[in-house]
Amino acid sequence: MAFELPKLPYDYNALEPYIDEATMRVHHSGHHQGYTNGLNAAIAGTDMENMTIEEILATVDPCNKAVRNNGGGYFNHVMYWKIMSPNGGGQPSDDLAKHIDDTFGSFDQFKEKFTKAGLGRFGSGWAWLTFECGNLRIGSTANQDNPLMQFADIKGRPILGMDVWEHAYYLKHQNKRGGYINDFFNVINWEEVDRLYHKVK
């Protein structure tokens, strides 16, 4: 069964002024559609047609660049749209908030470390917050790799992913990735992050 580009859970302009409409439009209808098409083409006629995207990523051969890049791109962006919201921002609550405080010291220290992970990824990639074996971890991956892949730079179940490709911010922020990351924090949908946290706990 072919993978489909999911509809955005809000309008293209809904994350203004933090994420601009033009970026959202080309990012979703252009880039994400491209990964979706590329994934479907790459798995056509293989056993992967009957697998979930999580199963595909957990077993993909690192040298299978078509599935690695397009499958990663498909999954990463499905998560990205969901973990942003026009009603986002603020901070997590309850046990996730406590877990973040216990692990990183405070929410501000978490934000600082997550920001560093995004700024420190040279070229294109993603910053991640993962949860596995009771531990929260921050890290980053190159290109469209993600923590479900066996060979990723950070492992675990992703519960928050931030796109740091230039296509995610260049129209509004040009070369200022830090400005985008700051804006991203104003739209993080902590309810969804919390759902993913409890789903894998």
From 95-103, 140-148, 157-165, 183-191, span contacting Mn ion (CB under 5 A):
157-165
Q: How far is the CB of 126 from Mn ion (least distance, A)?
A: 8
From 42-50, 88-96, 124-132, 165-173, span contacting Mn ion (CB under 5 A):
165-173
Q: How far is the CB of 27 from Mn ion (least distance, A)?
A: 6
Nearer to Mn ion, 34 or 132 (CB): 34
25: which residues sit within 8 A by CB, 6+ positions away?
A: 12
Kindly state whether residue 183 participates in binding Mn ion, applying the rule CB under 5 A: no
How far apart are alpha carbons 33 and 39 in whole angstroms?
10
Nearer to Mn ion, 23 or 85 (CB): 23
Q: How far is the CB of 31 from Mn ion (least distance, A)?
A: 5
Contact by Cβ (8 Å): 178, 115: yes
Instruction: Give exposure, 17-27, as e/b (b: 16+ Cβ within 10 Å).
Output: ebbbeebbeeb
Which of 123, 124, 132, 181 lies closest to 154 in space, CA to CA? Answer: 132
Contact by Cβ (8 Å): 130, 193: no
Kindly state whether residue 192 participates in binding Mn ion, applying the rule CB under 5 A: no
Nearer to Mn ion, 163 or 183 (CB): 163
Contact by Cβ (8 Å): 92, 159: no
The residue at minimum Cβ distance from Mn ion is 163
Contact by Cβ (8 Å): 104, 139: no
Kindly state whether residue 145 participates in binding Mn ion, applying the rule CB under 5 A: no
Nearer to Mn ion, 38 or 99 (CB): 38
Q: How far is the CB of 100 from Mn ion (least distance, A)?
A: 25
Out of 144, 160, 163, 188, the only residue in the binding site for Mn ion (CB under 5 A) is: 163
How far apart are alpha carbons 39 and 49 in whole angstroms?
10
Please report, as ranges, the residues that interact with Mn ion according to CB under 5 A.
Answer: 163, 165
